[in-house]
Structure 1
Amino acid sequence: MTQKRPFGLPSARLVAIAAVAGILAGGVAVYVKQAGSGNAVASADAAACAGSVERAQALSPAIRGEVAALVPVDEPRKIANLAFKDASGADTSLAAFAGKPLLINLWATWCVPCREEMPALNNLQKAMGGEDFQVLAINIDTPNAGDKPKAFLEEIGVDSLGLYRDSSMGVFNSMKKEGLAFGLPVTVLVDEKGCLLGSMNGPAAWDSDDAKALVTAAVSPPTT
């Protein structure tokens, strides 16, 4: 399990809006029916995630400044069976992204700090995304939101993330059950095998030098 610790947020404005959004997200999660989502998130898996704790702890020097809120994992945990939709509406899952570290971010259009950090996530993907790393942003707006998530991304010029959706909120509710999500936004960093390296609740400046240094450390683990 990861342990809670104070957020390291990029601005006073985000401190305030994150507090409000966290309460809203928690309330929504409580009242959303958790049935039929097909999602199961974290499980202890010492064999599949051998070395992941040591790798997570090695990130400590890079967990600072704008990304100081990231909490490294302290036991082997595999993020498994996350199911969601791609931009075409087709079923996909985390397995389709295996083979490279991922920064998985859950967001919603009603979440103000989520909206604030989307351009930064887009910039991070532009700067560092590729065969060795990807930002995977999953929208959890409910079905009645219609095309609102797509329109929002187009309006603010987010053009590198793609639109992935889980309108059942199963991904969020599963992460909340596992102690990884307490509100929105929530971000988890996993390695190329889908093993958890760290988690963060609250927004961050993901296109900052601190964030890029963290990604670089995650993509290039220390040799033994």
Structure 2
Amino acid sequence: MMKKTIRRIGWVVLGLSSVVAVVAGLYLYQNNNASKSPIGGILNIAIDIGDQRFMRWHTPRELPPISFQDEAGKTVSLDDFRGTVILLNIWATWCPPCREEMPSLDRLNAKRAGPAFEVVALSIDRDSTLVKSFYQQFDIQTLRGYFDTTSQVSNIVRAPGVPTTLLIDREGREIGRALGPATWDSPQAEALIDAALMRPAEDG
């Protein structure tokens, strides 16, 4: 009788240990893959895109007005891209991580650019001529030149440094962002873009 009781206690302890291990595993997974927003504990999801993480907001965030210049020196704004999903990459020619990821942005744009999607590579270099020579040096074929010579956009979107990349939906809202270089033509990154493209545009 005593042996049976001890054996039964042993199984109970083993079962409880298994439950604790599972709960601890789930906690660690959620802790590593999500962070709480300040609003009501809503979860924002951190998604692995190769060797980088993309933080996807639970709800797309409204962005303040943003304007910069194109290759012709014309002022363009975020509103000019309404109806198009854009990947806004804030970068600089002097930034080594930017140099690392720029070819993948070009490959992504070559594959996916069209009326529904565009990579907007926004340079914060004060001398816009540096971008043209940079594109030639790294054989960048499809990216247009966009310039924020006053570096105001970085402050407006609260980019802590370069590169910072925002995925923006058709309504001009931020879906999420990545800080640091990423492989933007990876399957994981393209899946993020596909999800943004499949999201129906809102009326009004």
Alignment of 1:104-123 (within 5 A): 104-123=88-107
Per the alignment, residue 206 of structure 1 pairs with 184
Confirm or deny that 1:167 pairs with 2:142: no
Per the alignment, residue 70 of structure 2 pairs with 86
Aligned counterparts of 1:146 and 1:164: Cα–Cα separation in 2: 9
Aligned counterparts of 1:76 and 1:175: Cα–Cα separation in 2: 14
The question of whether the paired residues in 2 share the 8 Å contact of 1:80 and 1:94 is answered with: no
Query: What's the TM-score once normalised by structure 1's chain length?
Result: 0.66
- 1:64 aligned counterpart, secondary structure: strand
Say if 1:67 and 1:102 are closer, same or farther in 2 by CA, change over 3 A: farther
Per the alignment, residue 87 of structure 2 pairs with 103
Alignment of 1:164-203 (within 5 A): 164-176=146-158, 181-203=159-181
Say if 1:76 and 1:132 are closer, same or farther in 2 by CA, change over 3 A: closer
Alignment of 1:6-155 (within 5 A): 63-66=47-50, 69-142=53-126, 145-155=127-137
Say if 1:197 and 1:147 are closer, same or farther in 2 by CA, change over 3 A: same
Greater than 3 Å deviation, 4+ residue runs: none
Deviation at 1:81, TM superposition (A): 1.5
The RMSD of aligned alpha carbons is 2.7
Per the alignment, residue 16 of structure 1 pairs with none
Per the alignment, residue 140 of structure 2 pairs with 158
Once the two structures are superposed, what CA deviation does each residue of 1:3-58 show, in whole Å capped at 9, x if it has no partner? Answer: xx98xxxxxxxxxxxxxxxxxxxxxxxxxxxxxxxxxxxxxxxxxxxxxxx9x97x
Say if 1:119 and 1:76 are closer, same or farther in 2 by CA, change over 3 A: closer
Matched to 1:164, the amino acid is Y
Matched positions, count: 163
- 1:199 aligned counterpart, secondary structure: strand
Unaligned runs of 5+ in 1: 7-53
Aligned counterparts of 1:198 and 1:186: Cα–Cα separation in 2: 11
Quick one: higher RCO (CA 8 Å, sep 6+), 1 or 2?
1
The question of whether the paired residues in 2 share the 8 Å contact of 1:67 and 1:211 is answered with: no
The question of whether the paired residues in 2 share the 8 Å contact of 1:140 and 1:165 is answered with: yes
Aligned counterparts of 2:51 and 2:175: Cα–Cα separation in 1: 14
